[in-house]
Amino acid sequence: MNDLLPQKRKYTLSLRVALPFCILVLFILDLFLGSVHIPVGEILEIIFTGQSSKVSWTNIIWQFRMPRAITALLVGAALSVSGLQLQTLFRNPLAGPFVLGISTGASLGVALMVMAGSILGAVFSFYMNSWLIILASTIGSSLVLFLVLAASFKVRDSMTLLIIGLMFGSFTGAIVSVLQFYSNSEEIKIYLIWTMGSLGRLSWEQIIILTPIVIAGIGLSFSMIRPLNTLLLSENYALSMGVNIKKVRLIIIISTSILAGSVTAFCGPIAFVGLAVPHLTRLLINTSDHKYTLPAVAMGGIITMFICDIVSQIPNSEFVLPINAVTSLIGAPVVVWVLIRKKNINRAFGK
Amino acid sequence: MIPIENNDIAMILKDLSVGYASKKVVSPILEEINLKLPYGQLICFMGPNGVGKSTLLRTISGIQKPLSGQIVIDGREVNQITPEAMAKSISLVLTDQINAGNLTAREVIALGRYPYVSWNINFSKKDLKAIEKAIKLTETTSFIDRKTYELSDGQLQKVMIARALAQDTPIIILDEPTAHLDLNNRVAVINLLKKLAENTGKAILMATHELDLALQTADRLWLAGFNAPIISGIPEDLVLNGAIDKVFQLKGYDLRTGQLEKRSLGKKVNLSGQGHEYLWTKNALERNGFEIDSAAEHTVSFSLENDEITWQIEGEGIAITNTLEELVIHLNKLLKY
């Protein structure tokens, strides 16, 4: 008894068939393409049996391409879902997962560790310990997030919260600049490479940690479908429909920080996906109902990250582009082109 | 005075005081509010801008906390009602800008059922029935599957009213639902609300500035003026006892005749005839500064032939015109000397 929408069947087709099919094809394509050519048949055999005719192929797939592809999947889903939530909460098409200062907080943590490490006299090797980076990044983003959360209890409306988040971002960004000014070129290079993001850094152990975190964050956001839809009207309307705005705001912020924070900690600040994928997905399924947009955006994010990952490896070459550059290089023109053709933002945001 | 029976009352406001309070200052906007909101009536809440209408509406709908006093809904005090239960008692139509451009009218109306559904939004038969009923009552069927960004302001307002109806609450509160609408839509919206109050027995409270429409439609008015308690009464009483004049401090508008005060420029003319042609001719003359005086030198009369009106001026001679515009121009020439 849920046939409220005449277009529902179309959405369901996209959600249940088209998008999952794209994900599957791109997943296999992502495993297939790389500097070493491995036949598709062998890849499927490796996936299902764990063995193939060459041990090196098995190793390449299991140790390099598979973790990378799974990372792309987690990153895409996590960033896009948190972007969509924040765009709805803040009623702002320019909101993304990083508007609350999560990425600048993480940057500050990493910058402090990499660049202030020598100033403080700490001795460690960056290359030796990726866990240290993850720890620093997590502490940095948690700190900023804690401040934003504290502010969210004080302020009445979400717009003020958005501005406070941006201010925290600017503030921590400035500290990073100061640190950079006093750092040597080696340290700056290490820091810069981190800011460019990477999908290939994660080991299986790290993926095993990241996966449940992302699933929990996405689960939280799915529990917010009903309040998110009421927020499409306005915060006052949501209140009048029995929605506890402060609680909802808190859960959305927590879910965003779990998603965007963990991804940033493990892969660096990956730009653009969280902002753009919700807009691209809204074109695909022409509704604002989060019951449909939320799963669609998660899948759209996965597809986008697969495509970016495939492009970043420049198929059949030795070169790898930084993922952050690729997301924006191919993403930005696509979004501009799409938006010029269809004035979708105007429809979704205000009349 | 026959008191209204208590079980006919949807909401009672007792010694209510509303306004804003910060840590240091308490700034009440409206005080000593003692009002009853009866079921089955359309109540228009009127008052000049800035008098605190929206603040009171926000307070009684639970968005804002009262400074002091009680709000009793169905025998229960509001601060003992959970937000979830409040959502089943009061629904709102606000002036807030909505961001739901990419939802269809039906989807927006369905949002009204959210207090009744679980997190994954599966509508039950009852929910769908309530939605259909709301659509039918508001006559929104013809554009129900259009996206809201395609709707006109009048259609959108009907959709928002339908959403409130779908919420299935005994009380509906509307904040200036006719703002930005043209005359036809204003009349349509107010008539719709009146009809809903009558047919569904809901208590409907709307803040509005539409004095003329409210006087003709509302079952009861609440009048809020500056530095005075809110007055409640049926429109005609409030007109005759001067309460409306006092609250609005109407300048140059005579509420009893429903007309703007006319300026007289000392030009007098006699007018004969009857019917609505007489009224509109009189309007045109008075608006242009003529006073109707049976002892005047010139007499204006009109005749009807095949639905066409001609006016004639009798004085020293006779002049005939086909429009009031020409009549006024001619009279101005005649009376100049």
Q: Residues B202-226: what's their mean pLDDT?
A: 91
DSSP β-ladder status, B220-223 and B231-233:
antiparallel
Look up tokens 């899948």; give the residue.
A299
**Contact by Cβ (8 Å): B285, B292:** yes
Return d(Cα A62, Cα A47) in angstroms, integer: 8
End-to-end CA distance of chain B: 61
Nearest C-alpha neighbor of B56 from the set B28, B86, B90, B78: B28
Residue B45 is predicted with a pLDDT of 94
Q: How far is CA A213 from CA A120, A141, A209, A305, B78, in A?
A: 32, 15, 7, 18, 40
**Contact by Cβ (8 Å): B66, B17:** yes
**Contact by Cβ (8 Å): A331, B82:** no
Nearest C-alpha neighbor of B104 from the set A264, A320, A71, A7: A7
Residue A2 is predicted with a pLDDT of 47
Q: Residues B199-228: what's their mean pLDDT?
A: 90
Residue A351 is predicted with a pLDDT of 43
DSSP structure string for A27-41: HHHHHH-SSS---HH
Which pair of structure tokens corresponds to residue A188?
Answer: 């700056």
- For residue range B47-77, list pLDDT tens digits in order: 888 888 989 999 998 888 899 999 999 888 8
DSSP structure string for B122-184: ---HHHHHHHHHHHHHHT-GGGTTSBGGGS-HHHHHHHHHHHHHHTT-SEEEEESTTTT--HH
Q: Which own/partner pairs from B317-321 qualify as long-range (CB within 8 Å, at least 24 positions apart)?
A: none
Return d(Cα A71, Cα A86) in angstroms, integer: 23
Look up tokens 């369905």; give the residue.
B110
Residue A5 is predicted with a pLDDT of 53
Q: How many residues does chain B have?
A: 337
**Residues of chain A neighbouring B107 (CB-CB closer than 8 A):** 4-5, 287, 289
- For residue range B12-30, list pLDDT tens digits in order: 999 999 988 877 888 888 8
Among B98, B115, B123, the residue with its CB nearest the CB of A242 is: B115
- Chain B (39-68) residues lying within 8 Å, Cβ to Cβ, of chain A: 58, 61-63
Return d(Cα A297, Cα A317) in angstroms, integer: 31
Does an H or E element contain B3, and which? none
Chain B residue closest in CA terms to A226: B119
Distance to chain A for B85, nearest Cα, Å: 7
Best residue of B23, B111, B116, B152 to probe chain A, by most A CBs closer than 10 Å: B111
Q: Which amino acid is at A249?
A: R
Assess A229–B contact: CB distance below 8 Å, yes or no.
Answer: yes
Q: Which residue has the higher pLDDT, A69 or B260?
A: A69
Dihedral of CA atoms B214, B215, B216, B221 in degrees, nearest 10, equals 70
Look up tokens 């709307």; give the residue.
B206
Across A303-312, B106-115, B255-264, least confident range: B255-264
Its sign, for the CA torsion A225, A228, A229, A235, is: positive
Q: Do B96 and A236 touch (CB under 8 A)?
A: yes
Residue A109 is predicted with a pLDDT of 87
Return d(Cα A86, Cα A100) in angstroms, integer: 9
Mean pLDDT, rounded, of chain B:
87
Q: How far is CA B15 from CA A83, B31, B74, B86, B229, in A?
A: 47, 7, 17, 21, 10
Look up tokens 């009464």; give the residue.
B233
Return d(Cα A332, Cα B38) in angstroms, integer: 58
- Chain B (64-93) residues lying within 8 Å, Cβ to Cβ, of chain A: 82-88, 90-92
**Residues of chain B neighbouring A244 (CB-CB closer than 8 A):** 83
Look up tokens 């007489």; give the residue.
B278
Per-residue pLDDT tens digits of chain A, which is 351 residues long: 345 555 566 677 778 888 999 999 999 888 888 777 788 888 888 888 877 778 888 888 888 889 999 999 999 999 999 999 988 988 888 788 777 788 888 888 888 887 766 655 555 554 446 777 788 888 888 888 788 878 877 877 778 888 888 888 888 889 988 888 888 888 888 888 888 888 888 889 889 989 999 999 999 999 999 999 999 999 899 999 999 988 998 899 888 888 988 898 889 888 888 888 998 888 788 888 999 999 999 999 999 999 999 988 876 677 788 888 888 888 788 778 877 776 655 565 654
Assess A343–B contact: CB distance below 8 Å, yes or no.
Answer: no
Look up tokens 């996206």; give the residue.
B147
**Secondary structure (3-state) at B21:** strand
End-to-end CA distance of chain A: 31
Return d(Cα B106, Cα B78) in angstroms, integer: 31
Among B84, B100, B123, the residue with its CB nearest the CB of A1 is: B123
Return d(Cα B130, Cα B162) in angstroms, integer: 10
Return d(Cα B146, Cα A255) in angstroms, integer: 33
Q: What percent of chain B has pLDDT over 90?
A: 39
Alpha carbons within 13 A on the beta-carbon side of A33? 20
Count CB-CB contacts under 10 A for residue B9: 17
- For residue range B135-144, list pLDDT tens digits in order: 999 989 999 9
Residue A7 is predicted with a pLDDT of 56
Return d(Cα B49, Cα B47) in angstroms, integer: 7
Return d(Cα B34, Cα A181) in angstroms, integer: 67
Chain B residue closest in CA terms to A239: B63
Return d(Cα B225, Cα B46) in angstroms, integer: 9
Chain A residue closest in CA terms to B125: A1
Return d(Cα B166, Cα B244) in angstroms, integer: 34
What is the pLDDT confidence band of residue B190, given thresholds at 50, 70 and 90? very high
Q: Which residue has the higher pLDDT, A224 or B229?
A: A224
Residue A9 is predicted with a pLDDT of 64
**Secondary structure (3-state) at B81:** coil
Residue B204 is predicted with a pLDDT of 95
| pLDDT at residue B264 greater than cutoff 90 | no
Assess A234–B contact: CB distance below 8 Å, yes or no.
Answer: yes
Look up tokens 């002091």; give the residue.
B68
Count of A–B CB contacts within 8 Å? Answer: 123
Q: Which amino acid is at A178?
A: V
Look up tokens 């639970």; give the residue.
B62
Angle between helices A323-341 and A273-284 (to 10 degrees): 40
Return d(Cα B12, Cα B6) in angstroms, integer: 10
Residue A84 is predicted with a pLDDT of 93
Look up tokens 């109306």; give the residue.
B109
Assess A350–B contact: CB distance below 8 Å, yes or no.
Answer: yes
